[in-house]
Amino acid sequence: MPQLQSRSLRVHADTLEYLDQTQLPQAEKWVPCDSPEAWQGAVKNLAIRGAPLIGLSAAFVLAQFAASHPEHDWQQVSDRLRATRPTAVNLMYCLDAMEACFEQGANALAERAAALFAEDRALCQRMAERGADLLKTGDRVLTHCNTGALATAGVGTAIGALAVAKQRGVELHVFVDETRPLLQGGRLTAWEMADLGIPYQLITDSMAASLMAAGKVDKVMVGADRICANGDFANKVGTYMLAVVAHYHQVPFYVVAPYTTVDPACATGAEIPIEQRDPAEIRGAAGAFGEVVWAPSDAPVWNPAFDVTPASLVTAWILDTGVFDAAAIARGEHCQGRGVAASKCWRTT
């Protein structure tokens, strides 16, 4: 296995380490991931998170398992990994790419995982540059969840665009939604903004409407976990509410994602499986700070990890392959190269 490293993933010859994102920003703790089961646990508790990073880390876990278990049923392991996060389609993309190499042996799997890593870095850079092209000095940008280097192998998606704009000398001000379920914006995006030297202010998700009503937001940029053939997309819960408010206040709303997030076999957002999370995340909170509970221990909870935003609320989709408006989406231009023959690549079971 080649030596590779991103902001939150380290690949060694025979081991994999991840930066535990549940410990940030208080501590930067690297944790070895030595089995498919360990990876599943890390993904479920959001220690490993971000649609691209989830897919890439799964590819390395599968490659390393194959190298140490040559006689095992690799397909069975891949299926288990696939079922861990049903909403994010990048996981399906990476695992299908790995499965296509099964007959070529473990070395081919290691090479394919490394190629996926390199591909994601290149995709991040291209989409970030396209997103940065839409930003100008003085823009006040609102973002949701965490879409930076922590979530990818490269500079990130929506935050990647902010980072490239900063590199170009574009002066921005960013409003950061704190984001449920584990305050990914408050813990991770705020940390990345400080690291990038981009001025920001942290807000609760419920404050975005008031901020837009006051005329303080010029653009909204978010990531995506799955983009459908019609442009509907799934992202971290709270995104749909943000899109509705932006539409009402006529604030441009952009989705930034790699082409690996596009699922042409999924016609509309109604077909996207939405993961339900642990009710305890709503009744209280736990993290590096410890644990606190503020609701009755038996309070009924509805806790979807994602919601679906209709294409009608999106100004443009910024992919590595181009910037697509509603007319381009209607023509299916964002799905080019992702036809019926590729439908297996986005199955979830």
3-state DSSP assignment of residue 39? helix
Average of pLDDT values for 267-296? 90
Q: Is residue 85 a known part of a binding site?
A: yes
**Concatenated DSSP letters for 96-127?**
HHHHTTGGG-HHHHHHHHHHHHHHHHHHHHHH
Structural domain for 89, as ranges: 4-123
Q: What is the mean pLDDT of the chain?
A: 93
Same domain for 195 and 240? Answer: yes
Count the Cβ atoms, other than its own, within 10 Å of residue 176: 26
Q: Is residue 107 a known part of a binding site?
A: no
In this structure, what token pair is assigned to residue 170? 């574009």
Q: For 63-99, write each residue's pLDDT tens digit.
A: 999 999 998 999 999 999 999 999 999 999 999 999 9
Q: Is residue 3 a known part of a binding site?
A: no
Same domain for 310 and 213? Answer: yes
Query: What pLDDT sits at residue 336?
Result: 84
Q: Is residue 235 a known part of a binding site?
A: yes
Last residue of a domain, one of 123, 145, 160: 123
Number of structural domains in the chain: 2
Query: What pLDDT sits at residue 270?
Result: 97
Same domain for 189 and 322? Answer: yes
Same domain for 117 and 200? Answer: no
Average of pLDDT values for 253-260? 97
Please, how many CA atoms are within 13 Å of residue 340, restricted to the half-sphere of its CB? 0
Q: For 18-56, write each residue's pLDDT tens digit.
A: 999 999 999 999 999 999 999 999 999 999 999 999 999
Average of pLDDT values for 201-219? 98
Same domain for 101 and 182? Answer: no
Average of pLDDT values for 321-325? 96
74-82 and 89-99 helices, crossing angle to 10°: 170
**Concatenated DSSP letters for 72-96?**
S-HHHHHHHHHTT-SS-HHHHHHHH
Same domain for 74 and 140? Answer: no
Residues with Cβ within 8 Å of residue 328, at least 6 apart in sequence? 322, 334
In this structure, what token pair is assigned to residue 160? 């990647």
Same domain for 38 and 187? Answer: no
Q: Is residue 50 a known part of a binding site?
A: yes
Query: What pLDDT sits at residue 337?
Result: 62
Q: Is residue 136 a known part of a binding site?
A: no
Residues with Cβ within 8 Å of residue 94, at least 6 apart in sequence? 55, 56, 58, 59, 116, 260
Same domain for 292 and 183? Answer: yes
Same domain for 286 and 332? Answer: yes
Same domain for 75 and 22? Answer: yes
Last residue of a domain, one of 92, 107, 123: 123
Last residue of a domain, one of 123, 146, 161: 123
Query: What pLDDT sits at residue 1?
Result: 67
- Considering only 137-141, 218-222, 288-292, 307-311, which range has the smallest mean pLDDT? 288-292
Same domain for 117 and 148? Answer: no
> Is 347's pLDDT higher than 60?
no
Active site residues: 225
Confidence at 340, pLDDT banded by 50, 70, 90: very low
In this structure, what token pair is assigned to residue 209? 């409407």
CB 41 within 8 A of CB 31: no
In this structure, what token pair is assigned to residue 109? 């799997």
Q: pTM, whole model, 2 decimals? A: 0.93
CATH number (domain holding residue 14): 1.20.120.420
Cis, bond preceding 25 (omega within 30 deg of 0): yes
- Considering only 150-154, 170-174, 217-221, 281-285, which range has the smallest mean pLDDT? 281-285
Same domain for 132 and 111? Answer: no
